[in-house]
């Protein structure tokens, strides 16, 4: 059931346009737009930057593996995932959801109008 730290890093880095950097006592993973996950240096948990709906959905679906981060971050959607409990398929789904929220937003291309 558990996912080890090397596998977590490989899964996160396989997502498009992800970079990693030290972030206090964690490793932050980000898109060009913002951080979407931070991994504990011991590899015991990963914090995922969800919106409130995703936080609630994951915490309800797998309460042993997901819980809100304590304090203000958790009230804004940040969710802790226990890597000693979560299965890989659920983790991939959660990482993909957090990554999607942090991906750069694309604007629809404006059509040129032809002048007569």
Over residues 45-77, the pLDDT tens digits come to 999 999 999 999 999 999 999 999 999 999 999
| pLDDT band at residue 105 using 50, 70 and 90 as cut-offs | confident
The class level of CATH for 5-102 reads alpha beta
- The Cα 70–Cα 15 span in angstroms is 27
How many beta carbons lie within 10 A of that of residue 71, not counting itself? 9
Between strands 19-23 and 35-40, the pairing is: unpaired
Domain ranges for the chain, please list them.
5-102
For residues 71-97, give the mean pLDDT.
98
| pLDDT band at residue 106 using 50, 70 and 90 as cut-offs | confident
């Amino acid at each position: 059931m558990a996912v080890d730290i090397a596998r977590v890093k490989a899964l996160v880095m396989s997502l498009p346009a992800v970079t990693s950097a030290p972030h206090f006592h964690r490793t932050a993973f980000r898109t060009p737009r913002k951080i979407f996950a931070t991994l504990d240096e011991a590899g015991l948990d990963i914090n995922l930057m969800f919106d409130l709906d995703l936080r609630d959905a994951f915490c309800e679906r797998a309460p042993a593996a997901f819980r809100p981060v304590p304090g203000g971050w958790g009230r804004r959607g940040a969710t802790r995932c226990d890597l000693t409990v979560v299965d890989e398929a659920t983790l991939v789904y959660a990482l993909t959801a957090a990554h999607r929220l942090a991906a750069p937003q694309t604007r629809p291309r404006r059509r040129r109008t032809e002048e007569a």
